[in-house]
């Protein structure tokens, strides 16, 4: 089967893993990576596949409707995997408009361009799919009913050696949307538009909501790469509030594998939650990162714990996210490939071995931006 697949945001963290997987696994597909190359987009993430004959990079802004119309038509796109977004909560608190423009208007422009092109074809929507990548943050925040943790009621291979849950509730596909940050509000809005294009025009769409990803190529404004880099440089580790917030972590390649499976086998108009039942309190996760980095750098155990610096909490900081991914596991047979302890070791090693990648993006504009944010706390 010959398919022309548009992957948006393919130069970012998760997108680059999805592009790499599709380019390598499906030589018969033509993969078109559409990315604006904002601060978060980096073509160095795709060096290993950039010369592959089934790969094309196009620099464009998803919010430019005419550009989306032109690109979708020119490449005769039959499937779209939409990851392009502004993705960092802290930035959304400072600049919500950019999030509305890209995440809401950008998604809408892409939907409209796909609709017009697909409806112009004789076969119309047959064999087409608009797959929208979303987040667990749209569901809001769960309560910390068990702050010390209780044995987790569900586990997968992604879970850690000592599995814990910090509350009794989990996000289900049926959980009512209740976003709190400008980022999650913009993602929630985009999810609604995607479903509206299915319900109103009959466009074949799908939405997935995933938990926090970690792994190689993540921009070092996010907790894990930021802290690995700061430990290496002996810089402070800014822990928001008391470090008690809980996140549910999944290795990025396992998210990319889920996207592949759902793109090919998922049911149109369905929602699938993606997560590994791997909850961590921030402060506990930070201690694991510190001990892993110290060990791999040959530092005395716990040496970098002194870098922990409690700072003013993030505004509206969601307390706990925990995804219930049993639907995806039982209906499509997905399961994570990596246990958390292996994943975090692999991740820390990758950042320590890819200093040049890190140094390139932490110099210049980004460094100044980060300094400003840090000073303001």
Positions touching ligand DAU (CB under 6 A) are 87-89, 135-137, 211-212, 222-223, 226, 238-240, 245, 247, 282, 314, 321
User: Is the CB of residue 274 less than 8 Å from the CB of residue 209?
Assistant: yes
Whether residue 183 lies in the annotated active site: yes
DSSP secondary-structure letter at 47? G
160 binds ligand NAD (CB under 6 A): no
Handedness of CA 259, 263, 265, 268 (dihedral sign): positive
Question: By CB under 6 A, what part of segment 200-259 binds ligand NAD?
Answer: 210, 212-213, 219
DSSP secondary-structure letter at 44? G
Task: Output the smallest distance, CB 319 to ligand NAD, in A.
Answer: 17
Whether residue 313 lies in the annotated active site: no
Residue 63 touches which member of ligand NAD, ligand DAU, none, C-beta under 5-8 Å by kind: ligand NAD
Q: Which residue has the tokens 């799908």?
A: 206
Helices (H), 79-215: 89-94, 96-99, 107-120, 182-201
Residue 238 touches which member of ligand NAD, ligand DAU, none, C-beta under 5-8 Å by kind: ligand DAU
Q: Which segment (9-17, 158-166, 289-297, 339-347) binds ligand NAD by CB under 6 A?
A: 9-17
User: Is the CB of residue 307 less than 8 Å from the CB of residue 237?
Assistant: yes
- Out of 19, 32, 40, 237, name the contact with ligand NAD by CB under 6 A: 40
Helices (H), 26-106: 65-74, 89-94, 96-99
* Angstrom distance (rounded) from CA 211 to CA 222: 14
Which residue number is nearest to ligand NAD in terms of Cβ?
A: 12
187 binds ligand NAD (CB under 6 A): yes
Q: Give how many residues touch ligand NAD by CB under 6 A.
A: 30
Question: By CB under 6 A, what part of segment 312-351 binds ligand NAD?
Answer: none
Containing 226, the helix (H) or strand (E) segment is helix 223-233
Question: By CB under 6 A, what part of segment 104-123 binds ligand NAD?
Answer: 106
User: Is the CB of residue 290 less than 8 Å from the CB of residue 343?
Assistant: no
Active-site residue (options: 86, 136, 191, 279): 136
12 binds ligand NAD (CB under 6 A): yes
Whether residue 126 lies in the annotated active site: no
Q: Strand runs (DSSP E) across the chain, as ranges? A: 3-8, 29-35, 55-59, 79-82, 129-135, 150-151, 164-165, 205-210, 212-214, 237-240, 246-251, 271-274, 279-281, 308-311
Active-site residue (options: 35, 86, 137, 248): 137
Name the residues that contact ligand NAD, by CB under 6 A: 8-9, 11-15, 35-38, 40-41, 61-63, 83-87, 102, 106, 133, 135, 187, 210, 212-213, 219
Report, as residue numbers or ranges, the catalytic residues: 136-137, 183
């Amino acid at each position: 089967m010959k398919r022309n697949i548009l992957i948006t945001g393919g130069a970012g963290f998760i997108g680059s893993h999805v592009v790499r997987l599709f380019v390598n696994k499906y030589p018969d597909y033509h993969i078109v990576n559409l990315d604006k190359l904002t601060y978060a987009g980096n073509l160095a993430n795709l060096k290993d596949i950039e010369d592959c004959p089934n790969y094309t990079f196009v620099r464009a802004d998803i919010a430019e409707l005419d550009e989306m119309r032109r690109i979708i038509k020119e490449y005769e796109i039959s499937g779209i995997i939409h990851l392009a977004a502004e993705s960092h909560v802290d930035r959304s608190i400072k600049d919500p408009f950019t999030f509305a423009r890209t995440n809401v208007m950008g998604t809408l422009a892409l939907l409209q361009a796909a609709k017009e092109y697909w409806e112009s074809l004789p076969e119309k929507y047959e064999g087409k799919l608009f797959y929208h990548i979303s987040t667990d943050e749209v569901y809001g925040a769960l309560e910390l009913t068990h702050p010390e943790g209780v044995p987790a009621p569900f586990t997968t291979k992604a879970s850690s050696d000592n599995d814990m849950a910090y509350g009794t509730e989990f996000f289900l596909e049926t959980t009512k949307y209740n976003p709190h940050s400008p980022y999650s509000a913009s993602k929630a809005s985009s999810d609604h538009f995607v479903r509206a294009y299915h319900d109103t025009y009959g466009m074949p769409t799908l939405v997935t909501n995933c938990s926090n990803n970690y792994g190689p190529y993540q921009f070092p404004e996010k907790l894990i790469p930021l802290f690995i880099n700061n430990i290496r440089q002996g810089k402070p580790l800014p822990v928001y509030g008391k470090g008690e917030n809980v996140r549910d972590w999944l290795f990025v390649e396992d998210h990319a594998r889920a996207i592949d499976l759902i793109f090919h086998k998922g049911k149109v108009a369905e929602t699938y939650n993606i997560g590994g039942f791997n909850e961590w309190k921030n402060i506990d996760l930070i201690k694991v990162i510190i001990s892993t980095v110290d060990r791999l750098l040959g530092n005395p155990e716990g040496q970098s714990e002194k870098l922990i610096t409690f700072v003013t909490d993030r505004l509206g900081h969601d307390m706990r996210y925990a995804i219930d991914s049993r639907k995806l596991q039982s209906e499509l047979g997905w399961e994570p490939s990596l246990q958390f302890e292996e994943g975090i070791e692999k991740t820390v090693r990758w950042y320590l071995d890819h200093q040049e990648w890190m140094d390139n993006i932490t110099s210049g504009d980004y460094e100044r931006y980060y300094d400003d944010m840090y000073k303001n706390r």
